Structures are given as structure tokens and as C-alpha cells.
């Protein structure tokens, strides 16, 4: 990593006065699953030569941290399937977590490799992780993920909790597929000390189904939950799209990520780095800055200038809409931008 070059320490503030303090890093576009809402069956992945090296990822994270990023989330694709991923986590942890430069290093994972890595993640300073889980029914799990095994993921979640990681479950609400499982999932999560966040399907990339057939508004879900439970909004704000409710009967919390039925952009504090070094300032817009080219062509000064450009380009909000036969809002899949 380039440690001698001088980087700017100017805070990252966009044209709307929002401070960028949260960086999500997709470390690979590859995955061992092919979830129906995320990928097509015959996904073609990027050649490995196009993917940033660990050194380059460290360089980019370093530039962001110097300019005020306090939280880094690794995602993908499936971050834990990238070869030697633990070496990268070791490096980021030593560079920034152990030194107190960031408050949090975390991960979003499908859980398939968690049993193998959970203890080491805790040793490296991770405190909580997000695990995606859309159903507790083994057959349905196999159908949604096209190649995942539920027992493997449940083992991973157990290992994570035993190692001391707080686990938040992410569940994409899919009409006619898992909408009847939201209550059982919430009861299971809360009785095992886990939070649950429901995600509205977003129109990212072409998938096999027409998304208007599977899109379920979380407003409907919340109304249905309110018939059985006492929901109280809680103030927890992450600068992200989730809004949280306390459930009196279970003493747990449930989050709602509602990009389509609620606009969350005014408090957005995040940007996303793809595994090829493209920086997207918004999940639902196509504007991007090529950090890999900036870094390779002009070194640290180029990288800094690219971050300044990114702040000017960060849009006010997204334009998601799901209507029958409408094209995806953006062509890239979630696995490319990083969820
Ligand atoms: C792209 S995945 C990457 C990390 C990891 N593979 C996982 O599944 O947790 C991150 C999150 O994005 C969600 N996701 C993928 N495609 C989506 C879509 N079209 N709309 C909403 N959420 C989506 C997944 O359910 C997951 O919770
Ligand atoms: S949601 Fe995560 S686990 Fe599922 S295909 Fe996408 S990247 Fe893989």
C-alpha cells in the first residue's frame, strides 16, 4: 500500500451538504448462490483480472478513511467466497480498526461460509454482521437461492452467535413466495436475540421474473403486522434506508428498507465501491467515478481528485419505480454494486 504519498484530509461533503462517512465495498461480484431477485440463472461474472487487488482495495479505503469515513462494510457478491478474504479483513482491521480511525468494520453475507470464519472475524474486531435469509423452509430456500442449503446457513448463523457476533437478518419480501413467513421469521429472530430487517425488492439488473409480479410493498407488510403486534417507531437512524420499529410482544426490533414506498435519500451518508473500482454514489443511479483508473493513472492525488468529483456527482435521490414490464432502474445487478 502507498503509505508515503500525501492524501487530502478534506471531509467528503456533497452538493447537498451530506457528509459521506460510510463506505460499502464489494470485494467480488461472484457468489455461491443465484438468488432469483439478485441474479439471473446464467450470470456471467467478471474476469478476475478486472477485479481490484487487495492492495488497491486497501489504498481506496485508506483514502476514504483519511477523509472522514468511519464505517466500512464488505459485501459483494458473496464477500466470504473471495479467495483469502480473511487476509484482506486482517489488513483493514490493522490499518483502521485497531488504530481507532474507524468505528466499525462489518460484513453482509449469505452465511454459507460463516461457520468457517466466525471466530476469526470476532478476533479481527467485528462486532456485528448482516446475514441474508429469506425463508426458514429448506425447499423454498433452495428455490430462492437456486443452489444454497439452508442448514449450512443456519450453522453459520449459530457459529456467528456463539463466537459473539450480533446478527441482523436481512429478508427480501417477495410477493407470493415468502410473505407468509415474515411473522415466523420475526418470531424466530427475536426469540434468538437477532434483529430482522425487511427489504423491498429493488429493480436492479435483469432477472428471470417480471419484478412487478414479485414486488411486495412493505407498507402492506407493516399494516398486516400492526394487526397482530404493537409496533412503536424508534429513533434509531443509520443514515440509510431502514426505519425501525419496536415490537412490544417480542421485545425485538424490526427494520423496513423501503426504497420504493418511502424516500430515504435526504439523510444518505454512503457511497459504494464495486469490485472493479467504480464508485457509485447512489444504488439507484448510474453516475459513477472510476477510482481504479484515477489511482492507476495519477496515484494518490488522482484518487483524491476523483473523490472530489464524486461528491459533486452524488445525486439528490434515486428514481426507482416498479411497473409491469418496466426496464430495471439501473442495468447493473445488486451483486455488482454491492448490497
Ligand atoms: C447483493 S447481497 C451481497 C451480500 C451477500 N451475498 C448477501 O446475500 O447478503 C446484499 C443484499 O442485497 C439484497 N438484494 C439483492 N438483490 C436485491 C434486489 N433486487 N432488491 C432488494 N434487495 C436485494 C440481498 O438480499 C442481500 O440482503
Ligand atoms: S443476494 Fe447475495 S447471496 Fe443472493 S445471489 Fe445476490 S450476492 Fe449471492
Atom of ligand 2 nearest to the CA of 335: 7
Residue whose CA is at the smallest distance from ligand 2 atom 6:
38
User: In Å, what is the CA distance from 103 to each residue of 73, 118, 142?
Assistant: 11, 20, 36
Contact 5, 299 (CB under 8 A): yes
Residue 244 confidence (pLDDT) = 93
Coil, strand or helix at 75: strand
Q: Is 232 annotated as a binding residue?
A: no
| CATH numbers and ranges of domains, the chain | 4-337 (3.20.20.70)
List pocket residues of ligand 1, CB cut-off 6 Å: 31, 37-38, 75-76, 78, 108-110, 132, 170, 172, 199, 201-202, 204, 334-335, 339
Q: Are 26 and 337 in contact (CB under 8 A)?
A: yes
Q: Which of 35, 38, 109, 160 to probe ligand 1 with, by most ligand atoms within 8 A of CB?
A: 38
Q: Measured at the alpha carbon of residue 258, what is the angle toward residues 253 and 261, in degrees to the nearest 5?
A: 130
Return d(Cα 302, Cα 34) in angstroms, integer: 36
CA 202 from centre of chain: 13
What was the pLDDT predicted at 95? 97
What's the pLDDT score for residue 9?
86
Q: Using CA atoms, how far apart are residues 60 and 294, in angstroms rounded to an integer?
A: 11
* pLDDT at residue number 260: 59
Low-confidence ranges of the chain (pLDDT < 70): 1-7, 203-212, 237-240, 259-264, 318-339
Query: How far, in Å, from the CA of 186 to the mean position of ligand 2?
Result: 21
Q: Give the pLDDT of residue 317.
A: 76
- C-alpha–C-alpha distance, residues 332 and 312, integer Å: 22
Give the Cα separation of 195 and 44 in Å (integer): 34
Q: pTM for this structure? A: 0.91
Pairwise CA distance, residues 63 & 61, whole Å: 5
**Distance of alpha carbon 273 from alpha carbon 282, whole angstroms:** 11
Contact partners, residue 214, CB within 8 Å, separation at least 6: 36, 37, 174, 175, 176, 177, 201
Beta-strand runs (E) in 65-103? 71-75
Ligand 1 centroid – CA 334 distance (Å):
6
Name the helix (H) or strand (E) containing 64.
Answer: helix 54-66
31 ligand 2 Cβ < 6 A: yes
Contact 148, 110 (CB under 8 A): yes
* Euclidean distance between CA atoms 239 and 165, whole angstroms: 22
Residues 6 or more apart whose Cβ sits within 8 Å of residue 168: 128, 129, 130, 131, 194, 195, 196, 197, 255
| Predicted local distance difference test score (pLDDT) of residue 2 | 46
Amino acid at each position: 500500500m502507498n503509505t508515503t504519498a500525501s492524501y487530502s484530509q478534506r471531509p467528503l461533503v456533497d452538493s447537498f451538504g451530506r457528509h459521506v462517512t460510510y463506505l460499502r465495498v464489494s470485494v467480488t461480484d461472484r457468489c455461491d448462490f443465484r438468488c432469483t431477485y439478485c441474479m439471473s440463472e446464467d450470470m456471467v461474472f467478471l474476469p478476475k483480472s478486472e477485479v481490484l487487488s487487495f492492495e488497491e482495495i486497501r489504498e481506496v479505503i485508506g483514502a476514504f478513511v483519511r477523509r472522514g469515513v468511519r464505517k466500512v462494510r464488505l459485501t459483494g457478491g458473496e464477500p466470504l467466497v473471495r479467495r483469502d478474504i480473511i487476509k484482506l479483513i486482517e489488513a483493514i482491521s490493522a490499518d483502521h480498526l485497531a488504530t481507532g480511525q474507524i468505528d466499525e468494520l462489518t460484513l453482509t453475507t449469505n452465511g454459507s461460509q460463516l461457520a468457517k470464519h466466525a471466530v476469526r472475524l470476532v478476533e479481527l474486531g467485528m462486532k456485528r454482521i448482516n446475514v441474508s435469509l429469506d425463508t426458514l423452509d429448506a425447499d423454498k430456500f433452495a428455490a430462492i437461492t437456486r443452489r444454497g442449503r439452508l442448514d449450512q446457513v443456519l450453522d453459520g448463523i449459530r457459529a456467528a452467535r456463539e463466537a459473539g457476533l450480533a446478527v441482523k437478518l436481512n429478508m427480501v419480501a417477495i410477493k407470493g413466495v415468502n410473505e407468509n413467513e415474515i411473522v415466523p421469521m420475526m418470531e424466530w429472530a427475536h426469540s434468538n436475540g437477532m434483529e430482522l430487517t425487511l427489504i423491498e425488492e429493488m429493480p436492479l439488473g435483469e432477472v428471470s421474473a417480471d419484478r412487478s409480479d414479485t414486488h411486495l410493498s412493505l407498507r402492506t407488510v407493516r399494516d398486516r403486522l400492526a394487526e397482530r403486534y404493537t409496533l412503536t417507531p424508534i429513533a434509531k437512524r443509520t443514515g440509510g434506508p431502514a426505519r425501525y420499529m419496536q415490537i412490544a410482544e417480542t421485545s425485538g426490533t424490526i427494520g423496513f428498507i423501503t426504497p420504493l414506498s418511502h424516500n430515504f435519500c435526504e439523510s444518505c451518508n454512503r457511497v459504494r465501491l464495486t469490485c472493479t473500482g467504480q464508485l457509485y454514489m447512489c444504488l439507484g443511479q448510474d453516475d459513477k467515478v472510476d477510482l481504479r483508473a484515477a489511482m492507476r493513472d495519477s496515484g494518490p492525488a488522482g484518487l483524491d481528485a476523483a473523490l472530489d468529483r464524486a461528491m459533486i456527482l452524488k445525486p439528490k435521490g434515486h428514481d426507482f419505480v416498479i411497473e409491469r414490464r418496466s426496464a430495471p432502474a439501473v442495468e447493473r445487478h445488486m451483486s455488482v454494486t454491492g448490497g
